[in-house]
Structure 1
Amino acid sequence: MPEPNRALVTGLLRRQIIDLWNDGRLDTVDRYYAPDVIDHMPVPGQTNSRAAMKQVVADFRAAIPDLRMRLLGTIACGELGVDFWTLTGTHRGALFGIPASNKLVRFSGIDMIRVANGQIVELWHVEEILQFLDQIGSSQTAFGAPVGDVASIAPPTPITNPGQRARHPDPRLLSDRERRILSIAKEHIEQIWARGDAAAAYRLYAPDVVDHMPAPGQRPGIPGIVDVLGWLREAVPDLAMTIEDYVVEGDLAADRWVMRGTHTGAPLMGVPARGNRFEINGMDVIRVRDDFMISDVWHVEEFASLRRQIMA
């Protein structure tokens, strides 16, 4: 089949945010999504069907009737596309079994889609559900050790190739600059986060890098990012990541990954180590400046799921 062009994929990314989520036009599900669409990260109890997708949107909009998603950006290349956004609204109805708190909420998310025959056939998405729960008072999370208590980071994990099975953009679809940005994106997730190489953070990030989705208690700039790297490695010495996808367009690059490990070290999210294993999904978006330094980072992880798994 012919490969979708960037305009088609970008249009679908924008329309699912504007028409479906912001305007609540459930009929657009039948237009934008294939009949056999697969949602790889459904909410509990959700089946893979257009009807189930409509119900999820209806449930969110009923619980947050003034829901507005601000689309922060899109990335499209080949059959894959990524959007990243921030949702705001008032929690006025039950959601995830939690009764209305009438509190203002603000959380972000990243979506990835695969397009075929003009429709979305696969969907991956991660949202900051933990931040939502914290904001409505259902939980209160401190991510890792207090600033200043981070011990020296363990040596990088000896992972041979965390991106070995990752799906990459067709190089023929990329400009020379985009190919270089892809190499930076790969080093960012595979070297810093999958292997735990803190030195790479100072090589890849601009000194004034902005983490748009910081962890609770995270300091600004590179020191704060290294803090989080240290918190994770101290809490989960066997932490490992598998990179699944890369998408690049212009000065933006995105990745999708799976993280696994055993909580045997320092407390994490206020939870003492109980030796529980976990597996979570996450996505990242980076912006690369003209000097090929990373200036901005957006990232979303299934931290609510992580906390449930390490508390089990």
Structure 2
Amino acid sequence: MSTRRLLNEQIERLWNGGEIELVRRNYRADCVDHMPVPGQQAGLGGMEEVVRAFRTAMPDLRMTLHGTIVNGDRGCDWWTLTGTHTGPLFGREPTGARVEFSGIDMVRTDGERVAELWHVEELLQFEMQLGDLPGGFGAPTEGYAPTDSGPYDPGAGAWTPDPGTLSELERRNLAVAREHIEEIWAKGNEDAARRLYAPDVVDRNPAPGQRAGVDGILDVLGWLREAAPDLRMAIGAYLVEGEWAADRWVMTGTHTGAPLMGLPARGRRFRINGMDVVHIRPDGLIDQVFHVEEFASLRAQIG
């Protein structure tokens, strides 16, 4: 079974179709979920319970799969979930709220089953749509850990596809994707942002009130670094296929500066996971950005 088929079945048959038996069929018994939902039990049983819980809480749940990227035994998908909260969910009583939030998944397979799973969802947005005080999904993150001292090379530990398996276009796009996250977001390089983003770039997951285009993205870059001047990132992996590229990362910092997510600085450390998917035009400019961060966890850690 190909990596792409496993990704497609994860969305279309497991989550949309409710075929819970696919967990045992498509995931190894020792599959590692690197980013479990807070409170999720270990093992395949915990994964089954999460799917069952969301589908019970939202019987009309629907995931729209936007795309997949595959490099050998590594793959990525990105999606948007919609549904109506009509049943209990992790202790939350039904609200009747209509919800919509996005997520990105990455997997490593053994050719037949998923061996490792990474995933980030917009759980802060989900909480706020339910009317909850943000933070219920805010468990501290685990995973690939950057160092906070010594030489700073955000991409040094990243997994990347074998260049020999990539086309000339894909090798170019991998370089663009690396510069995008390592220079703009990991180092705050605004010149790189103005050089790499198309003037009409679309942020598919904008912050509330974010301006359109490059200026809006630079606003977000600015307020994040004003809030955490010591911000650092470590990239865990890159994937690229055709005009699409993806990455996953861990961000650390100390909230000592400007207010962050509406909260005043209390000098608290934070560590969160995130993932990005970008579309790169033939001229090498990024014109679409999908991104998901553990902002529920961030708010819980600093607030």
Shared fold, TM over 0.5: yes
Distance 1:159 1:282, change over 3 A: farther
Match of 2:124 in 1: 130
Moved over 4 A (4+): none
Q: Is the 8 A contact 1:159 1:195 kept in 2?
A: no
1:159 and 1:228 map into 2 onto residues whose CA distance is 26
1:16 aligns with 2:10: yes
| Alpha-carbon distance, 1:140 to partner | 7.3
Match of 2:113 in 1: 119
Q: Is the 8 A contact 2:254 2:268 kept in 1?
A: yes
Alignment partner for residue 182 of structure 2, among 190, 206, 216?
A: 190
| Alpha-carbon distance, 1:159 to partner | 6.1
Q: Is the 8 A contact 1:36 1:48 kept in 2?
A: no
Match of 1:144 in 2: none
Q: Quick one: percent identity of the two aligned structures? A: 60
Unaligned 5+ segments in structure 2 are 136-149
- Aligned-pair Cα RMSD in Å: 1.6
Question: What is the identity, as a one-letter code, of the residue corresponding to 1:184?
Answer: V
Secondary structure, counterpart of 1:113 in structure 2? strand
Match of 1:40 in 2: 34
Question: What is the identity, as a one-letter code, of the residue corresponding to 2:184?
Answer: I
Secondary structure, counterpart of 1:114 in structure 2? strand
Counterpart mapping for 1:52-201 below 5 A: 52-139=46-133, 160-201=152-193
Deviations 1:32-57 (A, max 9, x none): 11111110011123233222111110
Question: What is the identity, as a one-letter code, of the residue corresponding to 2:124?
Answer: L
1:304 and 1:71 map into 2 onto residues whose CA distance is 23
Question: What is the identity, as a one-letter code, of the residue corresponding to 1:80?
Answer: R
Alignment partner for residue 251 of structure 2, among 227, 234, 259?
A: 259
Question: What is the identity, as a one-letter code, of the residue corresponding to 1:234?
Answer: E
Match of 1:299 in 2: 291
1:274 aligns with 2:274: no
Count of aligned positions: 290
| Alpha-carbon distance, 1:79 to partner | 1.4
Deviations 1:2-46 (A, max 9, x none): xxxxx8111110000001000100011111111111100111232
Question: What is the identity, as a one-letter code, of the residue corresponding to 2:93?
Answer: P
1:220 and 1:101 map into 2 onto residues whose CA distance is 32
Q: Is the 8 A contact 1:257 1:282 kept in 2?
A: yes
Secondary structure, counterpart of 1:238 in structure 2? coil
2:133 and 2:209 map into 1 onto residues whose CA distance is 16
Q: Is the 8 A contact 1:9 1:115 kept in 2?
A: yes
Give the TM-score normalised by structure 2: 0.93
Distance 1:77 1:282, change over 3 A: same
